[in-house]
Amino acid sequence: MEYYSKTITKLIAELGHLPGIGQKMAQRIAFHLLHQDEQSVRDFADAIVTARTSARFCKECCTLTDEDICPICASDKRDHHTIMVVEDTRDLVAYEKTGQYNGVYHVLQGAISPMQGIGPGDIRLKELMVRLQGDVDEVIIATNSTLEGEATALFISKMLKDTGIRVTRIASGVPVGGDLEYVDEVTLLRALENRKEL
């Protein structure tokens, strides 16, 4: 039995597709939006559409940005000889919040997961190898401490074994099975400071 009109039901259903949003939360958000003035709702909708249409991958590090080169890659104040490899943009942001890392990043846009049919060719490893043709001293592997993240880290370390580039892995301050975006800044900083050679 439907309790709401078709348009409201559709709004709740669409909101319910968002990660971490269940049926009750979707209803709360829907009714919050419906109680806002029309201009606020238009601004909200425009922000979503604009972000979606203008988002692209940085030509250097593959993070999401609205420019050809993201601000981190464009900065001459960053150490471009050190590259931290992360799974997605949220992980990059998590490390940036520590305020202690001054290198650049490479965002894989995923992790190797044979169970989900994601192989090395499905993430941004080719782009990483192109970047490593330049003057790079260290690659810090900061993939998540999940089965997929560990498999990706192992694959990258084997791929870089004979390049002469120092390859390190973030320390185990990050909980096994956890995603970097949910880890606090202190834990992330300890993991970065205590990274080890692979």
| Residue 1 pLDDT class (50, 70, 90 cuts) | low
Last residue of a domain, one of 33, 54, 75: 54
Q: Which residue has the higher pLDDT, 176 or 109?
A: 109
- Whichever domain contains 183, its CATH number is 3.40.1360.10
Domain residues for the domain of 136 are 60-197
Please report whether residue 1 resides in a domain.
Answer: no
Cross-strand pairs, 104: 83
Answering whether pTM is above 0.85, one says no
Q: Does residue 164 form part of some domain?
A: yes
Q: Which of 107, 178, 23, 39 is nearest to 31 (CA)?
A: 23
Does a structural domain hold residue 39?
yes
- Per-residue pLDDT at 186 exceeds 70: no
State both tokens at 26: 């979707």
Whether 95 and 170 map to the same domain: the answer is yes
Tens-digit pLDDT profile for residues 18-72: 999 999 999 999 999 999 999 999 999 999 999 999 999 999 999 999 999 999 9
